[in-house]
């Protein structure tokens, strides 16, 4: 067993883990962060995306021991104090950027990372930014619209249709 300490969604956790434990399994099973979805366990779907020290990573590709000393943010940790939705969460809801919801946590985390690096992405840049996250339900159009709306809201330039002004 290996001792790891990480800050997850603003709370510090110290645990003993098997060295082979994937971060996604540690988050879900030891810490109860079940919003981080186990999709494919092969890094193909992106459902397990979290932020590790501010960067989007697929948590099925990271060992828990590799996150020792790190700051991890999950889908549960992005809402504002008091529970107000993050602008990307709000936009996914308002623009119907989800259907079954399975990919949604990872898609939202990837979108937040994209908007951090590129606050005004084009449709093409959004599609490139989320390409590592698979959605089998939506056809992506409403996801792209949701990211555009969130980008506009976060930069203060969204019109009433969710398009960037």
Is the pTM above the cut of 0.95? Answer: no
The fold of 87-155 is DNA polymerase; domain 1 (1.10.150)
Distance CA 31, CA 8 (A): 9
Mean pLDDT (the chain, rounded): 93
pLDDT score of 101 more than 70: yes
Distance CA 77, CA 27 (A): 12
pLDDT for 165 equals 43
The model's confidence at residue 164, banded by pLDDT at 50, 70 and 90, is very low
Q: What residues does each domain of the chain span?
A: 2-77, 87-155
pLDDT score of 79 more than 70: yes
pLDDT for 162 equals 46
**Under CATH, which number does the domain 2-77 receive?**
3.10.20.30
CB count in 10 Å sphere of residue 149: 24
pLDDT for 41 equals 76
The model's confidence at residue 158, banded by pLDDT at 50, 70 and 90, is low
Residue 119: partners with Cβ closer than 8 Å, 6 or more residues away: 151, 154, 155
Instruction: Provide DSSP, 89-108.
Output: HHHHHHTT--SS-SSHHHHH
């Amino acid at each position: 067993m290996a001792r790891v300490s990480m800050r997850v969604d603003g709370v510090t956790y110290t645990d003993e883990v098997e060295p082979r434990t994937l971060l996604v399994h540690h988050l879900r099973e030891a810490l109860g962060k079940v919003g981080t979805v186990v999709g494919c366990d092969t890094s193909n779907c992106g459902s397990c995306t979290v932020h590790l020290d501010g960067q989007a990573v697929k948590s099925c590709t990271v060992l828990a021991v590799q996150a020792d000393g790190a700051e991890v943010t999950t889908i549960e940790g992005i809402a504002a104090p008091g529970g107000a939705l993050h602008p990307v969460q709000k936009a996914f809801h308002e623009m119907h950027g989800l259907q079954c919801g399975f990919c949604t946590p990872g898609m939202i985390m990837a979108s937040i990372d994209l908007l951090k690096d590129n606050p005004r992405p084009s449709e093409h840049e959004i599609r490139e930014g989320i390409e590592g996250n698979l959605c089998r339900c939506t056809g992506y159009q409403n996801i792209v619209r949701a990211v555009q709306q969130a980008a506009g809201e976060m930069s203060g330039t969204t019109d009433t249709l969710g398009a960037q002004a």
